[in-house]
Structure 1
Amino acid sequence: MKKEYLHFPLRKHKSISFSARVFLLLLLVSIVLTLGLGKYFTDTAENRLMANIRSLAMSQAKLIASIESIVQSVKTRDIQKLKVIADKLNQDSDYDYVVIGDENSMRLYHPNQDKVGFKMQWNKPGALERGESYFIGGEGSIGNAVRAKTPIFDEQGTVIGVVSIGYLTKNIETSRSELFVQTGATFFGVLVILLFLSWAFSRLIQRQMLGLEPEQITQMVVVQKGIFEAVFEGVIAVDCTGRIININHNARQMLALSEPPNHLIGRSVSELITPATFFVHDIAVTQHDVICVFNGLNVIANRIALQDDNHLMGAVISFRSQNDIESLNAQLTQVRQYVENLRSLRHEHLNWMSTLSGLLQMKEYDQALAMIKGESESQQQLIDALRKQFFDKQVAGLLFGKYHRARELGLQLEFTPGCQLNSLPQQLTSTEFCAILGNLLDNAFEATLKNNRGNKQIELYLSDESAEFVIEIADQGCGFPSDMKEKWLERGMTTKTESVDGHGIGLYLVASYVKRCNGVIIIEDNQPHGTLFSIFIPKVKIQND
């Protein structure tokens, strides 16, 4: 499924995306870092190369100066023997040339025989007299070179000559160039790797930000915060481990969490809410209108899983107080019932007025007067009887409307002798008690209309004479479905399978109100047809374990 995200227009001057800016910044940092490190390592390697060449040159010079045959040849000034020995050393060594002179710096050996017998160049003044070894650079007898010079001592420790080992500058530059190429290739490879990592990192940021710009994310966060706080229900978002991601004000208020949101976010939901099963178990499963208890508060909760590319990230739980919803449903039910009652009375009144108008037009005045008197007395007797038997005006008004509604439907609502109601259960309001009566009577009307074999009569018995409030409603309808007798009090269960109004709330409300009062509901088959609903509510509240 293709994702759709909320997009906000970017400012016009922001022509480069955030991921591109991150990539360019990382690219610049990588280039500067690579060049800086390359320069540092190149200079270090170059200095080390020169130090190694000097150390090697000096070691080779001292080694040659210590060879016995060299010492004897210099001492006896045997130039031919010295040439043989030096030529052989040139073949086995990596220096570019060697020059050997006497104590006066006169050349006894030189790779160029034409320069033998001439004074050696660039000697350090007084070095031969003190027996010092030293380095010297610059132009020499063969070319620009780095030279290591060390004295030759005889058996008595007297300086009798000097050995000069030279490394030509051009060969050193070749070694430097090779070193630079190797170092440059290495750091170029590092730069390529850094460029690839920068590109991959910028792409990762773009995916993590869902392709949005920082300005858009800021706007989304502000909007999300506003929506969270504007929702009347309590809303809590948790991650897969049950830790709180976000929580709104109504949730904290309903659950009596006095700490500010920044102290709650990141904490385990089990530390704050008891029980926390709905927040941590099977959160990948979406659930609607589930009755739960959070911190002792009865709520109706919904849960939606949070997923990204089929990867579970957590869940959002919204909930409202069950009492608020039940009260609202009860009030809506009563409004609907009052509207139906008024419609029934209006319909019956119109029929009565039409009959009366016909009698008057026919000049049957005596019969018209008798009809008016009879109808008035009948209505007054019903009103007086209801007011006498049922002290609550709302209950009496409901039964008066239901009586006329039954007549309009072709049914007959009978009040069983002995009906009386002097008080209501302490746990129920007049509206909630009327919701019980109204829903049961509506179901009885509908069931009776479905059965053509019954006598179209519904009987009502309502009494508080004993230690219990008793409500009994018997109809001659189609009977209560046997497969629903064990689960009829579940939310969503309804007998109105052919009606669009069959939302399954009526019986559920009846069950919840009776349960609140620790009452009992018994469903039995009526004779010869129909169903008998019996409700028993104790007058004294029984504490639940």
Structure 2
Amino acid sequence: MKQVTLERMTRERRGWSLARQLLVLQVIIVGFLVVAGAALAYLDVADRTEDSTRDEVVAVALTIADSPAVVDAVEATDPSAILQPFTNRVLHDTGIDFVTIMDPTGKRYTHPDPARIGEKFLGHIDQALAGRVFTETYTGTLGPSIRAVVPIRDDERVVGLVSVGITLDAIAGQVRDRLLGLVLVALATLAVGMTCIYLVSRRLARQTHGLGAAELNRRLEYHEAILHTVREGLLLVDQAGRVTLCNDGARELLDLGDDVEGRALTELGLPSEMVASMAANRTTRDEIHLTERRVLVVTCSPVRSGNHAHGTVVTLRDHTDLQALTGELDSVRGFAESLRSQAHEAANRLHTVVSLVELGRYGEAVEFATAELALAQQLTDRVVDAVSEPVLAALLLGKAAEANERGAELVITPETEIDDAVLGGTLAPRDVVTILGNLIDNALDAALEGGNAPKVFVTARAEAGELLLRVEDTGKGLSAGEVAFDRGWSTKADGRGLGLALVRQAVRRGGGTIEVSHGERGAVFTARLPTALVKS
């Protein structure tokens, strides 16, 4: 109860809601239109009734004036005795209020009130005496009336006059009879209009949540401000797969232009896997997708109202830097694991040397120690001599130790040669580490699955204006139709592969190319990066 009261007080402070304002405004407009229409219709009915009344009295008057019996009666000795019964029948049959037949001087021969016979006609007769038919509104013995005055001719001579009229009270009665139907129609129209307005207002109130126009405007401004200032990308996709809303963050993350809204997802040049994940009515959470330059975390949620689906809300988060840091952390972990393994191996060898010394076999102890040092130093010297760039040298030494621990051999080919001036500048060393590190990891997995004597051959050198990175393994190679660089491809067939997709992204970001082929021993991955983009 307190919550309801608080909401009511809040709404009262806010003023009328938009729905209520529109309701009142529409009621006023519809009410005004109905009243104005009814008034105009009433005036039109009154005008039409008056016009029809004039036509009626003229027609009756002309009919009487043209009757030969009337002409003969006017010239008879006692016109009233003949004409009064005649006019009474006319009044009874036509509904006319009065028919007055008179001589040219205006003396009445007939009248609805017999006591008025012989008196002077109240009205104008000059135009009728001149042979013209005219109508007028005049107040006579029966009150105001619309009357027609018509001459009675015997050949060309005017021998009498006929005046036929209907009182204004009778006309008003006709208008009132028509007005009742008009009022009923107006009330029905008003009722239907008010009902429709009420239903529309209820629907509008539900859709606007009872908010006023000012508050709706503020919320829209806040919505626009928040939408275009958040760093995360936001897309609204309708049921047909068309973008209905795209904020600035989404345009930046997806490298889109300003003409995104209204276009289909398939027209935006996005990766097919990302487009498929944004399909209508599909829910996805924190999926990793790669574009040409970024690693994005995509979350999709359908928008529903009851059982009706309206589309999909897509949120995008930039995972590029985090993915790079994760790769570097994995490399550091690999180095640490290699150091741990080497420390463990060195401890074992040291115990062996100590044991030989304790046994007094000094020569064999020296021979064993120097042999192990020579093997380790040989690999280190080979890597350092060929690769003077410290980051790549450390990577290769770490991967060599990892390969040795896993029972494989990492072979640095004789043509490998990179000095420390090659890396830096536009292409960061960590991108080269991403490319070479993931290729070696993938090659190690493939070589270990391939069978006996697993080996990985690594070539890295600068030639012909480009940096060449080649990794070959002794595995089974790729099957026909396999697309190794697609997100989700993995030699382990678990559908979670991301390394080679990151390799392709890093190569494209550096303006290079990468290809895969079948060598003499297994799969061969070759990446080429222009040295114009890898200069200090």
CA–CA distance in structure 1, aligned partners of residues 397 and 24 of structure 2: 81
Tell me which amino acid in the other structure corresponds to 1:490: D
Tell me which amino acid in the other structure corresponds to 1:28: I
Of 335, 343, 349, 1:349 maps to: 343
Tell me which amino acid in the other structure corresponds to 1:507: L
CA 1:346–1:245 in 2, change beyond 3 Å: closer, same or farther?
closer
CA–CA distance in structure 1, aligned partners of residues 513 and 271 of structure 2: 29
1:337 aligns to 2:338 (yes or no): no
Of 389, 393, 396, 2:390 maps to: 393
Tell me which amino acid in the other structure corresponds to 1:349: A
1:282-361 correspondence runs (5 A): 286=278, 329-330=323-324, 332-346=326-340, 348-349=342-343
Q: Residue deviations 1:404-424, cap 9 Å, x none?
A: 3345x4535343563632356
- Cα offset, 1:438, TM superposition: 1.8
Q: What residue is the counterpart of 2:186 in the other structure? A: 187
Q: What residue is the counterpart of 2:50 in the other structure? A: 50
- Asked if the contact 2:383–2:397 (Cα under 8 Å) also holds between the matched residues in 1, the reply is yes
CA–CA distance in structure 2, aligned partners of residues 413 and 300 of structure 1: 35
1:156-235 correspondence runs (5 A): 160-202=159-201, 205=204, 214=213, 215-216=215-216, 218-220=218-220, 222-231=222-231
- Asked if the contact 2:237–2:244 (Cα under 8 Å) also holds between the matched residues in 1, the reply is yes
Q: Which runs of 5 or more residues in structure 1 are unaligned?
A: 1-8, 527-531
CA–CA distance in structure 2, aligned partners of residues 107 and 539 of structure 1: 125
CA–CA distance in structure 2, aligned partners of residues 126 and 206 of structure 1: 71
CA 1:507–1:357 in 2, change beyond 3 Å: closer, same or farther?
same
- Cα offset, 1:315, TM superposition: 8.1
Q: Residue deviations 1:110-163, cap 9 Å, x none?
A: 3444x16441463449788777855354462xx445152526455486655443
- Asked if the contact 1:415–1:459 (Cα under 8 Å) also holds between the matched residues in 2, the reply is yes
CA–CA distance in structure 2, aligned partners of residues 416 and 410 of structure 1: 17
Secondary structure class of the residue paired with 1:226: helix
Tell me which amino acid in the other structure corresponds to 1:178: D
CA 1:300–1:351 in 2, change beyond 3 Å: closer, same or farther?
closer
Secondary structure class of the residue paired with 1:119: coil
CA 1:419–1:210 in 2, change beyond 3 Å: closer, same or farther?
farther
CA–CA distance in structure 1, aligned partners of residues 393 and 247 of structure 2: 46
Secondary structure class of the residue paired with 1:13: helix
Q: What residue is the counterpart of 1:22 in the other structure? A: 22
CA–CA distance in structure 2, aligned partners of residues 283 and 75 of structure 1: 107
Q: What residue is the counterpart of 2:80 in the other structure? A: 79
CA 1:448–1:64 in 2, change beyond 3 Å: closer, same or farther?
same
- Cα offset, 1:396, TM superposition: 0.8
Tell me which amino acid in the other structure corresponds to 1:505: L
1:435 aligns to 2:434 (yes or no): yes
Q: What residue is the counterpart of 2:119 in the other structure? A: 119
CA 1:284–1:128 in 2, change beyond 3 Å: closer, same or farther?
farther
- Cα offset, 1:175, TM superposition: 0.9
- Cα offset, 1:462, TM superposition: 2.5
- Asked if the contact 1:238–1:279 (Cα under 8 Å) also holds between the matched residues in 2, the reply is no
What's the C-alpha RMSD, in Å, of the aligned pairs? Answer: 5.4
CA 1:117–1:319 in 2, change beyond 3 Å: closer, same or farther?
closer
- Asked if the contact 2:54–2:135 (Cα under 8 Å) also holds between the matched residues in 1, the reply is no
CA 1:265–1:103 in 2, change beyond 3 Å: closer, same or farther?
farther
1:504 aligns to 2:497 (yes or no): yes
Secondary structure class of the residue paired with 1:535: strand
Secondary structure class of the residue paired with 1:494: coil
Tell me which amino acid in the other structure corresponds to 1:522: S
Q: What residue is the counterpart of 2:248 in the other structure? A: 248
- Cα offset, 1:393, TM superposition: 1.3
CA 1:184–1:234 in 2, change beyond 3 Å: closer, same or farther?
closer
- Asked if the contact 1:411–1:458 (Cα under 8 Å) also holds between the matched residues in 2, the reply is no
- Asked if the contact 1:469–1:539 (Cα under 8 Å) also holds between the matched residues in 2, the reply is yes
- Cα offset, 1:29, TM superposition: 1.1
CA–CA distance in structure 2, aligned partners of residues 112 and 417 of structure 1: 140
Tell me which amino acid in the other structure corresponds to 1:495: T
- Asked if the contact 1:471–1:534 (Cα under 8 Å) also holds between the matched residues in 2, the reply is yes
- Asked if the contact 2:235–2:243 (Cα under 8 Å) also holds between the matched residues in 1, the reply is no
- Cα offset, 1:43, TM superposition: 2.1
CA–CA distance in structure 2, aligned partners of residues 402 and 49 of structure 1: 108
- Cα offset, 1:181, TM superposition: 0.6
1:488-503 correspondence runs (5 A): 488-497=484-493, 503=496
CA 1:463–1:44 in 2, change beyond 3 Å: closer, same or farther?
closer
CA 1:357–1:333 in 2, change beyond 3 Å: closer, same or farther?
same
CA–CA distance in structure 2, aligned partners of residues 392 and 307 of structure 1: 52
Secondary structure class of the residue paired with 1:108: coil
Aligned identity (percent) is: 18
- Cα offset, 1:32, TM superposition: 1.4
User: Which shifted more, 507-516 or 390-399?
Assistant: 507-516
- Cα offset, 1:45, TM superposition: 1.5
CA 1:275–1:336 in 2, change beyond 3 Å: closer, same or farther?
same
Q: Which runs of 5 or more residues in structure 2 are unaligned?
A: 1-8, 280-286, 532-536
Secondary structure class of the residue paired with 1:109: coil
CA 1:71–1:305 in 2, change beyond 3 Å: closer, same or farther?
farther
Q: Residue deviations 1:325-356, cap 9 Å, x none?
A: 77874553233112321243146437757997
CA 1:249–1:356 in 2, change beyond 3 Å: closer, same or farther?
closer
CA 1:102–1:250 in 2, change beyond 3 Å: closer, same or farther?
same
Tell me which amino acid in the other structure corresponds to 2:516: I
Secondary structure class of the residue paired with 2:109: strand
CA–CA distance in structure 1, aligned partners of residues 457 and 260 of structure 2: 55
Q: What residue is the counterpart of 2:282 in the other structure? A: none
Matched length: 500
